[in-house]
Amino acid sequence: MTAQSQQAPTGMSREEFELAVGRVVKWILIVFFLVITVFPFYWMLNLAARPFADVLQNPTQLLPDGDQLATIPDTLAAIWEDYSFKIYVGNSLVISVVTVLLTLLMAVPAAYAVTRLDFKLKAAMSWGILLIYMFPAIVLAIPLFVIYTRLGLRGQLFGVIVVYMSQTLPVSLYMLRSYFTTIPVDLEEAALIDGCTRLQTVWRVTIPLSIPAIVTVALYVFMIAWNEFLFALLFLQSTPESWTLPIGLQQLNKAQEVPITYLMAGSLIITVPVILLYLFFERFLTSGLTAGAVKG
């Protein structure tokens, strides 16, 4: 207000002028960002609803009509059965859920050790976590491909799960550690004095208090495993019965005669669960992201 009162009374002050321009620019940008983030996803739905012939005739038809929308369940049913998406969804679910459970099983105790216990290699651990976080996946890909081939692990879901664990453990450790440090030590010490062992303390005090962080880590690990492409491609490509959703979809695309409608319906099947999960747990996820959760 002070600045404005110093301005000459004639016309608009620079402050007022810039604020007015800023408001207009701001709303233009809001629309711009909404279009670039939402429209592609809407278009996926649009193309999954309209038959390809119709897409070719009216490429820019923004709204599918009611009859076309009604075909979506049939399209989904077709790729679910005829293109084996039920198998891919099953594989993706198994891989993601098992990765989440095993990662948590390892990361929670490890994060507790790094936060609360004293040992010689503690400082080295922090550096190690950071280094692995930055490590190029493609450098691991070739030797792992060779080792897996030799061990007969290629084509087995377990092999992929182990790799996903190695990719998500450092991040999970990092996130859990930063949360554990915010829990007052007094609470744990009280439990120890009351006769709990260390492990009982972790189970009864630390874990219940860290549920938000554990949920965040679980969601991130799930999403990483659900979305992962490179390792699944390398290890599962040659065994169709163990394809995950991304690989199933990519291979479907490689088979030339598959209609675009089916490809888009497949994209919906893989995208919608992630979007729903995100919308449901948005608060957890946005805070986790700035804690350095996802690499990519």
Partner 1 sequence: MPDPIILNFSLMELVAYVLLWAVLGALPGFYLFYANNRNPRTGASLGVVSGVVIGWALAAFSAELNTQLIVNTTAVMWLITLLLAATMPRGTHNVTVSLQQRIADLAYGLLLPTFLIVFAIIIFPTIWNLVFSLRPIKMRDLADASIFSLEGLTLDNFDRVFSTRGGQFWDIMLTTLVYTFFGSVLAIFLGLVAALVAKDSFPGRGIFRGFMLFPYIAPVISLAFIWEMLLNSRFGFINEIVASLGGTRVDFLTTPGWALLMIILFQGWRYFPFSFLFILARIQAIPDDMYEAAKVDGAAPSERLWFITLPQLRAVFGTLFLLRFIWTFNKFDDVFLLTGGVAGTEVVPVQIYNWLFSRQNVGTASATAIVMAVILFGVVAIYFRWFLVAEEV
| The only residue of 101, 130, 151, 190 in contact with partner 1, by rule CB under 8 A | 151
Considering beta carbons, is residue 105 or 187 the nearer one to partner 1? 105
- Which range touches partner 1 (CB under 8 A), out of 79-87, 186-194, 206-214, 247-255? 247-255
Q: Name residues contacting partner 1, limited to 100-119 (CB under 8 A).
A: 105-107, 109-110, 112-114, 117-119
Q: How far is the CB of 275 from partner 1 (least distance, A)?
A: 7
Closest distance of CB 80 from partner 1, Å:
16
| Residue 264 CB, nearest approach to partner 1 (Å) | 7
- HEC assignment per residue over the chain: CHHHHHCCCCCCCHHHHHHHHHHHHHHHHHHHHHHHHHHHHHHHHHHHHCCHHHHHHCCCCCCCCHHHHCCHHHHHHHHHHCCCHHHHHHHHHHHHHHHHHHHHHHHHHHHHHHHHCCCCCHHHHHHHHHHHHHCCHHHHHHHHHHHHHHHCCCCCHHHHHHHHHHHHHHHHHHHHHHHHCCCCHHHHHHHHHCCCCHHHHHHHHHHHHCHHHHHHHHHHHHHHHHHCCHHHHHHHCCCHHHCCHHHHHHHHHHCCCCCHHHHHHHHHHHHHHHHHHHHHCHHHHHHHHHCCCCCC
Q: Does 152 bind partner 1 (CB under 8 A)?
A: yes
Pick out residues in 19-48 that bind partner 1 (CB under 8 A).
19, 22, 26, 29-30, 33-34, 36-38, 40-41, 43-44, 47
Q: Which of 85, 210, 245, 284 binds partner 1 (CB under 8 A)?
A: 245
**Closest CB 57 distance from partner 1, rounded Å:** 9
Q: How far is the CB of 52 from partner 1 (least distance, A)?
A: 8
Q: Is 65 in the site for partner 1 (CB under 8 A)?
A: no
8, 24, 123, 139: which one binds partner 1 (CB under 8 A): 139
Query: Residue 285, interface with partner 1 (CB under 8 A)?
Result: yes
Q: Which is nearer to partner 1, 76 or 162 (CB)?
A: 162
